[in-house]
Amino acid sequence: MNRVASIASNTFREAVRDRVLYNLIGFALLMVAASLLVGQISIGIERNVVINLGLTAVSLFGLVIAVFIGIGLVSKEIDKKTLYTILSRPVRRWEFILGKFGGLVATLVVNTFFMAIGIFAAVFYLARHFQHADAYLLVALYFIILQFVLITALALLFSAFSSPLLSAVFAFALFIIGTFAQDLRGFAALVHGVPGWIAIAAAYVVPNFAALNVISTVAHDQPVAGSLVLYNTLYALLYSAAAVAAAMLIFEHRNLK
Amino acid sequence: MPAIETFALEKTYTVGFWRKRPRCALRPLNLAVEEGEVFGYLGPNGAGKTTTLKLLMGLVYPTAGSAKILGLPVNDPKVKAQIGFLPEQPYFYDYLTARELLQYYAQLSGVDARDRSRRVAAVLERVGLSDVGGVQLRKFSKGMLQRVGIAQAILHDPKLVFLDEPMSGLDPIGRREVRDLMESLKHEGKTIFFSTHILSDAEALCDRVAILHKGELRSIGVIADLTSSVRGKVEVTWQGNVIPPGIRALNAECHQTGEMARAIVAEDQLDSAIDALRRANLKLVSVTPVRATLEDYFVEKLSPAEVAAR
């Protein structure tokens, strides 16, 4: 596990020293600041607007970081031949994949932490004090992190066998489809016969990003059920584990030309 | 026990998107490199040298055959702990300093935490980079990156070092430094397997060489034995600043300097050359055998059509 930790820590260091990351975080915080302005012209629902826009900015920018760093995790190392000097050491291919995944997830958690400070600062600025419902923001942020874990696992899976461009297209496409996963399940329930079975299979195979989006709920100061937290945690962890395991399996058999 | 052994090791890639077709990168290769040997793996670009190294490093999987390093299968972690590898034209993480990079590789190689800093400092000193150990690699020149590459390959004190074109892209001083480093590794008893297309490097360093062309092993052996098999040439020198027609007729390589002239002819043309000088009333000064170089042997091993095609 030491080798996995070393690779994860190097991946984290690589991401942290990348200027693009700071630009994206800066832009997300700018969006949070902009939500304050929009909030001022939305009489009576300032808090709702600030939370909605702020969390959406965190989610979207985090997603962009996860996909764009995630798809390059493997391909960049092959292109630059840095992978050759790693795999010629006593490092197994699955350890490399797991380390890369761990490093990027750690990066995203730290990013989300800093962006979350921005949102809490904005919320505090509006009311000049914190209230009990602000704690619900933590649940929304936790679900956003689960989304990042899922999308990182998928980006890593695609990058284990395809080009960075295709991997980005696949990952974004799955995110968009997954955002409408509930609608897809509703549609599947209406179709019968073989097409119905196919629709149900497709609806359950795509990652359910919709279930992980509680931004609107917390923006209306509504609590999130404990059972949803548990189910979403299990779902995201199992789905990500399956995607990372598939990435490891594909990478294990890949010729590194 | 040989340090490296391959048993009909073969690699065929599939190329093309719609119409997939096989492209043979390495034909069945049987090779044995002894421990402590400096082994040169020679061939023109595209001969299959890098493919062989990737197969030995476990980066690509063979289509058929197998290989062993230090008596174990190539992917065994025990093997990986005892080898160092420098890829061709290496490129490392831009955002790390040379010291950080080597610390990272030391961790991955399982170097003891207490010993890491000392090892990193020693290897930086050895490759002449101790002054710039704290500089980020994006500020390094190509030659400095090559030295970092060598440093990471020998950092964990491996028994066996694989170097893919280690002199590639280096200036004459850099090449000399790498050559000296390889000689010092040899004196430490390390086995060195290095690929190159620069024959003078191989001639200066190797105990044995193998010549590969179009994925096929053309010959293997000690350089002196290989070059002795090359058809001999002699240099004929005579007095007088004239090239007689009889010498020209031999298609010899001729040179004129001051009052002397010389021609390099094949051994079996020597009598004809001397006859030609006699007919032209020119005074023979000397006949000297010309030592065949690895380059002569290399060119001879590639068929004339292949040489012309290059």
CA dihedral angle for residue A112, residue A115, residue A120, residue A125, rounded to 10 degrees: 180
- Say if residue B177 is in the same domain as residue B193: yes
Q: Are residues B24 and B109 in the same domain?
A: yes
Q: Are residues B92 and B197 in the same domain?
A: yes
Residue B261 counted as domain residue? yes
Q: In Å, what is the CA distance from A65 to each residue of A73, A139, A227, A234, B186?
A: 12, 21, 29, 24, 47
Span B144-174, pLDDT tens digits: 888 999 999 999 999 999 999 888 778 888 8
What residue type is assigned to position B207 of the chain?
Answer: D
pLDDT digits (tens, 9 = 90+) for A207-222: 999 889 999 888 888 8
Average pLDDT of chain B to the nearest whole number: 87
**How many angstroms separate the CA atoms of A196 and A202, rounded?**
10
Q: Are residues B144 and B172 in the same domain?
A: yes
Question: What is the share, in percent, of chain A residues with pLDDT greater than 90?
Answer: 33
* B309 within domain boundaries: no
- Residues in chain B closer than 8 A to A81 (CB atoms): 87-91
Domain assignment present for B296: no
Interface test with B, best of A6, A89, A251 (most B CBs within 10 A): A89
d(CA B220, CA B40): 10
| B30-66 pLDDT per residue, tens | 999 999 999 999 988 888 999 999 999 999 999 999 9
Note whether residue B117 is domain-resident: yes
- Among B13, B60, B80, the residue with its CB nearest the CB of A89 is B80
Which residues of B make CB contacts under 8 Å with A? 13, 54, 57-61, 77-78, 80-81, 83-93, 95-96, 100, 104-105, 107-110, 149, 152-153, 156, 162
Specify the amino acid at residue A235.
Y
Please report, rounded to a whole number, the percentage of residues in chain A having pLDDT higher than 70.
96
Tell me the C-alpha distance between A62 and A14, whole Å: 16
Q: Is B52 exposed, middle or buried (CB count within 10 Å of its CB: 0-12, 13-18, 19+)?
A: buried
Looking at CA atoms only, how far is residue A18 from chain B in angstroms?
Answer: 8
**Structural domain boundaries, residue B262:** 233-291
Same domain for B108 and B223? yes
pLDDT of amino acid B70: 93
The number of domains in chain B is 2
pLDDT for A30: 78
- If asked whether residues B103 and B200 sit together in one domain, one would say yes
Task: Specify the CATH number for the domain of residue B286.
Answer: 3.30.70
Chain B CB contacts of A2 below 8 Å = 107
Residue among B51, B55, B59, B164 with most chain A CBs within 10 A, to mutate: B59
Give A145's pLDDT tier (boundaries 50, 70, 90): very high
Q: Does B110 lie in the same domain as B43?
A: yes
Indicate whether B97 and B122 sit together in one domain: yes
Same domain as B105, residue B11: yes
pLDDT of res. B15: 82
Provide the residue ranges of all domains of chain A, joining segments of one domain with +. Answer: 2-252
* Helix locations, B155-243, DSSP H: 172-187, 199-205, 223-228
User: Is the predicted pLDDT of residue A147 greater than 70, yes or no?
Assistant: yes
Residue of chain A with shortest Cα separation from B86: A85
> What ipTM describes this predicted complex?
0.84
Segments in chain B below pLDDT 50: none
Range with lowest mean pLDDT among A30-39, A195-204, B91-100, B129-138 = A30-39
> φ, ψ for residue B23 (rounded to 5)?
-130, 115
CB B14 within 8 A of CB B39: no
Q: What average pLDDT does the structure give for chain A?
A: 87
Q: Clarify whether residues B30 and B59 are in a common domain.
A: yes
Name chain A contacts of B108, Cβ cutoff 8 Å. Answer: 3, 6-7, 86, 89-91
Contact A154, A186 (CB under 8 A): no
* B254 part of a folded domain: yes
Q: Tell me the CATH number at B19.
A: 3.40.50.300
pLDDT reported for residue B310: 52
> Which residue of A2, A13, A87 is in closest CB contact with B107?
A2
